Every structure is written in structure tokens, then in C-alpha cells.
Structure 1
Amino acid sequence: MHLELNRAAISTLVTTFYDDIRHDPVLQPIFDNAIGDNWTPHLERMVDFWCSVMLGSGEFKGNVYGKHMQLQGIEPDHFRRWLGLFENQVRHLFDASVADAFLVVARRIAASLQYGYFGRADAA
């Protein structure tokens, strides 16, 4: 499947990716502790985030780093799993060049957060 890069496709990515997260035995408890029953607003926010990044929409306003640094119990394996699930979805939904562009951003975010948690960007 190769979707055209637009808001609808990003919404599909966010929905399917977070479905994977919610079924992952390692990541699901971390996300449930952080998000609780607020999945709908979180998914909408993630669509806004990825539209801002990939489409230049500018609709996301927030502090990704600061928000994530509040979470407890984060381990390097969480980043490996998150990136693996994300890569599977973007490669399934988009052609290689679009998937690669998503992954550049995802890996950059993961590296920044890993630096914050573990003092180095390559903990995963």
C-alpha cells in the first residue's frame, strides 16, 4: 500500500501505529500510564504533530521533549520497540522516500529523548 502524503494518510498512520502500541506487551503499559483514557485527544495531537512535520502545516504547538521527560520507567528497549513499530507502519503505508523522511524525524526525536533519559543519543 502506498498512500499519498496528506492529512488523511497521516491519520491512518497514527491510528494504525498506536493500535500496534496498544497491543504491544512492553509499550502498552507505558502509554496507558501516560495517556489513560485520553487516547482520542492524544491521537488528534499526534496527527497535528506529524502534519506539522511532514506537511509544514504548523498546527502543532507543544514541547515534545519536556512532555516526555516527565514520564517514569522509560528504558532503552522502549525506544527500539517504538521505532520498530513505527518503521513497520510507515514502510507499509508509504513509498520508500516518504517512509525514509518519516524515519529521519522519528530517529531524531528518539535520539533527543534518549539523550535526555540516558545521557547519550544511542541508548537503543
Structure 2
Amino acid sequence: MTTLTDIKNLDDIKLLVDTFYSKVQKDEFIGPIFNEKIGNRWPEHLEKMYRFWQTILLDVHSYSGSPFPPHKQLPVEKEHFDRWMAIFSATTDELFLGPLAEEAKLRGRNMAEMFHYKIDYFRNAAKNN
């Protein structure tokens, strides 16, 4: 049995991101949404995710930009965010153990909640105009 260690470097970030999005692409519930939106740009998306998580978890400022706008028009509901979070947490737990792994799950959960809230807000604002 392999002893799990914490997220330590960019290689660990890449392992987490690649493993997670491999599962997302195959998921019957959220996979079609991701695959339709991203299309053949998966390598570009993964590179962006490496930089995003490296910035958040390792304090290496390699990501700049605003992560929300590309998600604003996605056809997603709370159930989609719940599935994203379940896959993300399970992937993190199967690969890593430690404070940064816990931080990744916390940040992922906070981001999912914020994105869901903002998407709902913009939808309701559009309905009321």
C-alpha cells in the first residue's frame, strides 16, 4: 500500500488536475457540459488549471485572470456543482493527504458555491430585466 503525501509541487498539481479532469470528461452527468464547452481545447484548459491551482495552493503566482466569466453562461444547477465537488474531493483524497490537500478541497468547495451563487444571480437578473 502506498502512503499518501501532501501536495508539494507542480507535478502534484498536474497529477491532481489531470486525474480529476479525466474523471470529469467521462462522467455521464457533468462530462457532456465540459466536453461541449471545451471541445478540442483540453490541453489549453489543463494548462490554465495547473497555473490556477499552483497559484492558490503553492503561492506561485503563475495564474492571472478571472475564473468566473467563462462559466457564467453554462447550463448548470446546484446538482452539477455537487457532482464536481464530489469528484474533486474523491480525487484529492485518493491521491493526497495533508494540509494542502485539505486546502484544495476547501478552496474547491468555496469556488463551487460562489460560482453557483453568481450564476443564479445573473440568471435571475436577466429574467427580471
Please confirm whether the aligned pair reaches a TM-score higher than 0.5, indicating the same fold. Answer: yes
Q: Deviations over 1:72-91 (max 9, x none)?
A: x1111110110000001111
**Which residue in 1 is equivalent to 2:109?**
107
Partners of 1:4 and 1:68 lie apart in 2 by 26
- Match for residue 63 of structure 1 among 66, 80, 96: 66
What percent of counterpart residues are identical?
Answer: 31
Partners of 1:93 and 1:79 lie apart in 2 by 21
The one-letter amino acid of 2:105's match is L
How far did residue 104 of structure 1 move?
1.3
CA RMSD, 1 decimal: 1.3
Larger mean CA deviation between 11-20 and 102-111 belongs to: 102-111
2:4 is the alignment partner of 1:8: no
Q: Secondary structure at the match of 1:58?
A: coil
**Paired residues of 1:2 and 1:92 also in contact (CA < 8 A):** no
2:35 is the alignment partner of 1:35: no
Greater Rg by CA: 2
Unaligned runs of 5+ in 1: 120-124
**Which residue in 2 is equivalent to 1:86?**
88
Judged with a 3 Å threshold, the aligned counterparts in structure 2 of structure 1 residues 74 and 93 are, in CA distance, closer, same or farther, namely: same
The one-letter amino acid of 2:56's match is V
**Which residue in 2 is equivalent to 1:122?**
none
**Which residue in 1 is equivalent to 2:48?**
45
The TM-score normalised by the length of structure 1 is 0.89
Partners of 2:119 and 2:6 lie apart in 1 by 34
2:37 is the alignment partner of 1:19: no
Judged with a 3 Å threshold, the aligned counterparts in structure 2 of structure 1 residues 117 and 4 are, in CA distance, closer, same or farther, namely: closer
Larger mean CA deviation between 56-65 and 44-53 belongs to: 56-65
Q: Secondary structure at the match of 2:68?
A: helix
The one-letter amino acid of 2:40's match is D
Kindly tell me the number of residue pairs found equivalent between the two proteins: 118
Partners of 1:4 and 1:101 lie apart in 2 by 10
- Spell out structure 1 runs of 4+ moving beyond 4 A: none
Partners of 2:114 and 2:7 lie apart in 1 by 29
How far did residue 2 of structure 1 move?
2.5
